[in-house]
């Protein structure tokens, strides 16, 4: 599997095409994708780029990290494989942590 680049701090206006055009200054890009929210279709502020020649990955990290794209300084790094990421724990996600399931109110003991 080819090594991807992770691109963070993208402007909401950045599209797949503008991301691809920006990274093609260093070499042929086989894919460029801005990750969007499933419900709203709005950019989530990050994306992935894949070069035809993986030798361009480190060059992109060195030369494009911190550069401005669509008015924002972007972060460019090598993407980690999915299996390297820690798994999220369960719990009630609407409260941002490991809270017990079953409602927002605690029962009183008196």
Answer yes or no: is 46 within a domain.
yes
The per-residue pLDDT for range 57-109, each reduced to its tens digit, is 999 999 999 999 999 999 999 998 877 656 666 655 555 555 555 555 666 67
Residue 31 has pLDDT above 70, yes or no: yes
The predicted pLDDT at position 81 comes to 82
Confidence at residue 17, expressed as pLDDT on a 0 to 100 scale? 97
How many distinct structural domains can be found in the chain?
1
For residue 63, the enclosing domain spans 5-81
Q: Say how far apart CA 31 and CA 79 lie, in whole Å.
A: 14
pLDDT of residue 5: 97
Residue 47 resides in a domain: yes
pTM of the predicted model as reported, rounded to 2 decimal places: 0.74
Please tell me the distance from the alpha carbon of residue 47 to that of residue 68, in angstroms, as a whole number.
Answer: 15
Q: What separation, in Å, do the N-terminal and C-terminal C-alpha atoms of the chain show?
A: 59
Number of C-beta neighbours around residue 78 at 10 A: 12
- State the pLDDT at residue 63: 97
């Amino acid at each position: 599997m080819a090594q991807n680049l992770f691109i963070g701090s993208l402007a909401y206006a950045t599209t797949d095409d503008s991301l691809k055009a920006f990274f093609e200054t260093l070499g042929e890009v086989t894919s460029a994708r801005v990750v969007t929210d499933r419900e709203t279709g709005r950019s989530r502020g990050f994306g992935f780029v894949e070069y035809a020649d993986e030798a361009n990955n480190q060059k992109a990290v060195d030369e494009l990290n911190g550069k401005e794209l669509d008015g924002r300084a972007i972060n460019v790094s090598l993407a980690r494989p999915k299996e390297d990421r820690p798994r999220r724990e369960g719990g009630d996600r609407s409260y941002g942590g490991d809270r017990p399931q079953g409602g927002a109110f605690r029962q009183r003991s008196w």
